[in-house]
Every structure is written in C-alpha cells, then in structure tokens.
Amino acid sequence: MKCSDLKSKISLYIDGILSDGESRSLDDHLSACPLCREHVNDERQLRRDLGKLGRPSIPPAVVGSIKFALREKVSEGRPSIFSTTVSDWIPMRLMPLGVGIATSLVIGVSFLSMMFAGARSAGEIISSDRGRDTRIMLAPGNSDGANDISPTEYARSRMSVAGESPSINPNGAIVALTRSLVGSRMREDEVVVVANVLSNGLARVTEVVGGDTDPKTVADLERALQTDGSNTPFVPAVMDNRGENVRVVLKFKTVNVSTRTAPKR
C-alpha cells in the first residue's frame, strides 16, 4: 500500500469511520511508515486543537433583539381577515343579541372578485336582532367544509346568547350553502325568508319575504335547512342552551367587496 493511497483516508481513519478491513490495512502501513504516522499524529493534534478553540458566546443583547423581532413577527403573523378560519372569527365577532321572541339572522354572502379574474370567495354571515348586528367571517376558499371549530365548542362559546339566537353549525348546511354560492352569483341581490329552527338543529322555511324571489334559491335554502345527519344547519338545542323552537329571519345578501380592504358593514 502506497502512502499516496492512504492520504485521503487518514481523516476517516481518525474519525473512526473506515471499515475494519481498511483500518487494519492502515494500521499495518502505519507501523512501517513514519511519515504517515506523523501525518496521523499531526491531524489528531489538529482535530484536538480545533475542538479546543471554544465557542464564542452570543451577547445577551443579541438574544433579546432576536426575541423581540420574533415577538413582533408572531403578533404581526395573525392571519389577515380574508384568510382567517371560522374558528378564529366566530367567537371573536359574535356579540350578544337582544331579547325577543323572533330572532333574526341575516346571512350575507360576499363575493370577492377584485384580485383574481373570475375568482370569488365566500364572505360573511351577519346575525342581527332588533337592529343589533353580529358579523361572522367565513374562511374564503375553504370549500372542503372542514372547519377547525366543532359545533360543541362553538355553542359553548355562545351560551349566554343562544337562547335568543340559535347557533349556526360551523360544519353545517348553512355554512356549506354560503360556500356553494361562491362563484355562482345569486340572481337577486337579497333573499329573505322566515324559518323555524327545531330542537334537532334542522329548520323549516315558513315564509318568503318579497314576491319575486328566485324559486331555485329558496329551494336550495330549504334543502340546506332540512339537511339531516351530522351537518344540520344549526347546533341541536341540547347543546345550544336554547328553546325547542325558535323563529329566525334569514337574509342572504350579495355584496361586492375589494379583496384589498376589509368589508365595511
């Protein structure tokens, strides 16, 4: 074995990552070659010395500065109004409603079409009662219906107001309906119906406000309100701290808003 053949292997030999066979061959050569032994010794010393160079300590002011910068980023990092999930916005935006026999819910659908040609996003759900409004934002483009908040969590967050204002099921049919309207503008700018919300979370349209409402939109709404199963439009009464039957007014409204600014009420 020539010295030149071993030169490139000495580092691996020192670091202990040569095979047993290669190491034995190198051992044999080293026992007979003082030049290579010197090379190995030099490199071992070099490695030890490099390890002893120590590690410079970071100045505490730098640590503080990095933490501060990250804290700022974290606080700035709150998702924008158009990318926020329902779970973030529903509890935040929902305000207590007034007491009354009839509770009105106004559901608005905003079509966001300014930024991308032809692209429209879901908008907002507005709850109102006796002139006091509560606005709920839906996550635009989240058409798979998977919301982070569960119906139980949402209902729990509105315990104090659910008696007069039934909690919409965040994974339910009304939310899904608003999403289905994204990209397919309603024929009218506004659809208003009166409905009874039942104890099981389903609802039934009892009156259509306005004589010229598109029958197809009303039919879609009726189907959504009566959808059975786990995606009932409202949270069932047992989970929602409300009475067996509550009358609501549902209002669907189309508004065009710029994606560059938050929608104004």
2, 34, 75, 244: residue in contact with another protein (rule CB under 8 A)? 75
Residues 248, 203 contacting (CB under 8 angstroms): yes
User: Measured from the CB of residue 72, what is the shortest distance to another protein in angstroms?
Assistant: 10
Residues 78, 136 contacting (CB under 8 angstroms): no
Q: 250 φ, ψ to 5°?
A: -105, 130
Determine the Cα–Cα distance for residues 204 and 183; give it in Å rounded to an integer: 26
Determine the Cα–Cα distance for residues 188 and 221; give it in Å rounded to an integer: 14
Q: Does 8 bind another protein (CB under 8 A)?
A: yes
2, 73, 260, 265: residue in contact with another protein (rule CB under 8 A)? 73
Residues contacting residue 185 through CB under 8 Å, at least 6 positions apart = 111, 120, 254
Q: Which amino acid is at 78?
A: R
Q: Does 70 bind another protein (CB under 8 A)?
A: yes
Instruction: Fill in the per-residue mask, 43 to 62: x = in contact with another protein (CB under 8 A), - = not in contact.
Output: x--xx-xxxxxxxxxxx--x
Determine the Cα–Cα distance for residues 90 and 73; give it in Å rounded to an integer: 24
Determine the Cα–Cα distance for residues 17 and 73; give it in Å rounded to an integer: 44
User: Measured from the CB of residue 191, what is the shortest distance to another protein in angstroms?
Assistant: 39
User: Measured from the CB of residue 81, what is the shortest distance to another protein in angstroms?
Assistant: 17
Write out the two tokens for 101. 């026999």
Q: Does 15 bind another protein (CB under 8 A)?
A: yes
5, 31, 37, 67: residue in contact with another protein (rule CB under 8 A)? 67
Residues 210, 232 contacting (CB under 8 angstroms): no
The region of 5-13, 177-185, 197-205, 208-216 touching another protein under the rule CB under 8 A is: 5-13
User: Measured from the CB of residue 101, what is the shortest distance to another protein in angstroms?
Assistant: 43
Chain centroid to CA 263: 20
Q: Does 12 bind another protein (CB under 8 A)?
A: yes
The region of 41-49, 96-104, 163-171, 187-195 touching another protein under the rule CB under 8 A is: 41-49
Q: How many residues bind another protein (CB under 8 A)?
A: 43
Nearer to another protein, 23 or 226 (CB): 23
Q: Does 34 bind another protein (CB under 8 A)?
A: no
Chain centroid to CA 206: 35
Kind of pairing between the strands at 203-209 and 132-137: unpaired
User: Measured from the CB of residue 247, what is the shortest distance to another protein in angstroms?
Assistant: 41
Write out the two tokens for 194. 């009166």
Q: Does 37 bind another protein (CB under 8 A)?
A: no
* Binding residues vs another protein (CB under 8 A): 7-12, 15-23, 39, 42-43, 46-47, 49-59, 62-63, 65-67, 69-71, 73-75, 77
